[in-house]
Amino acid sequence: MGIGSVKRPERVAVIGVGILGAGVGWNLSRQGAQVVFIDAGRPGEGVTNWSFSWVNASNKTVRKSYFDLNVAGMAAHRELAGVIGPESWWYPSGHLRWTDDPAAQAKLLKSAELLESWGYRVEAYTGVEVRRHLEPALTVPGEVPVVFYPDEAWVHGRHLVGRLVGEAVASGAELRSGTAVCDIGTGADGSIRTVALADGSRLDVDIVVNAAGPRASHVAGLIARHLPMRREPGVITRIGCAQVPVHRVMHAPHIEIRPDGDASVVLHSREIDALIDTGEEPAQLARLLHESARHVVPELGNSRIAQTRVAFRPIPADGFPSVGAVPSVPGYYEAVSHSGITLGPVIGRMLASEILSGRSDEMLADFRPERFLS
């Protein structure tokens, strides 16, 4: 092997083809690795398709290193749009946030000040200015302060995954969808050797990337690794509209709203999520979301509930991503995170580089899988 050359793995199995798995596999494929995507369902149709899909760092201030990683994620989305084209998946229209609670309002404004001090773009408006210049369909009160984050965006996750996987397959990657991983085999030295699928096939591989989202803990268990995960269900409802009355992501009092293409709006609420475990049926949760949305955007009163799903967020136990190699199992890597929509492109790039070069990006130092080793 020549000076400066990189030893590439013969074959990489990416388990889970949501936004994180697609991002890792696409980056690996572009750099010459042999990639096989494996998903029990269809690419992009799991949690990725049932996420609020908001690209941001304004909600990630609990740890500066996590904020910085999400800012890098936002930049990686812009770069990706330049490489593959933004059509059908990338909507950089900004994000609005306001509240009707005085204590929450003070917290919002304090957070905006912190973000500005970290160099994040923040703009302040009143409700009347928002209605006049940005979102005329809203009922936000005229003097309420509204914070606008112009660099934030929303993503159509399923379309993005389809683009990335399609490009990788066109370059020689393999897609095994509709079949789950049931076993991961290791050699005498403990390194990854095989992946067995529920359809009876067995693949010889050198590398496994666990990007299995809510099932990441189960996949980790196949190599006797304990990956602790939170149990956090969330409900997403899609509303069918003859004409979408909003233009960007927004966090309004009690409800989160964003466009979802030309004829659909997505609704979510942490308050409604809290009702999931009380036994409320998804259809009733959808009606509650729809009712909250009508108070903010009256035109949505004429729309219809099209789809609702309760999905489990893929969140490691401490709330932060688990990304990188697990040294005790050579060839095994994790790509597990909440905020996968924001982080997919940057984690995909960083983890692919680590797999191919053996060097980890310093930006991932706080998010290594080793912190969960007992």
The full DSSP string for 152-205 is -EEE-HHHHHHHHHHHHHHTT-EEEES--EEEEEE-TTS-EEEEEETTS-EEE-
Domain boundaries, the chain: 12-51+157-230+316-372, 92-152+231-312
Per-residue pLDDT of the chain (374 residues; tens, 9 = 90+): 444 444 545 799 999 999 999 999 999 999 999 999 999 999 999 999 999 999 999 999 999 999 999 999 999 999 999 999 999 999 999 999 999 999 999 999 999 999 999 999 999 999 999 999 999 999 999 999 999 999 999 999 999 999 999 999 999 999 999 999 999 999 999 999 999 999 999 999 999 999 999 999 999 999 999 999 999 999 999 999 999 999 999 999 999 999 999 899 999 999 999 999 999 999 999 999 999 999 999 999 999 999 999 999 999 999 999 999 999 999 999 999 999 999 999 999 999 999 999 999 999 999 999 999 86
CB 211 within 8 A of CB 355: no
pTM (2 d.p.): 0.95
Write down the pLDDT at residue 373: 84
pLDDT at 296: 97
Query: Can you tell me whether residue 63 is helix, strand or coil?
Result: coil
Of 110, 96, 109, 4, nearest in space to 54 by CA: 96
Architecture of domain 12-51+157-230+316-372: 3-Layer(bba) Sandwich (3.50)
Count of beta carbons in the 10 Å neighbourhood of residue 278: 7
CATH number of 92-152+231-312: 3.30.9.10
Q: Confirm if 211 and 16 have CB atoms less than 8 A apart.
A: yes
Kindly calculate the radius of gyration of the chain based on its CA atoms and give it in whole angstroms.
21
Q: Are strands 264-268 and 233-240 parallel, antiparallel or unpaired?
A: antiparallel
Q: What are φ and ψ of residue 63, in 5° steps?
A: -145, 130
Q: Do the beta carbons of residue 369 and residue 334 sit within 8 Å?
A: yes
Burial class (CB in 10 A: 0-12, 13-18, 19+), 204: exposed
pLDDT at residue 8, rounded to an integer: 45
Instruction: Give dist(CA 157, CA 325) in Å, integer.
Output: 26
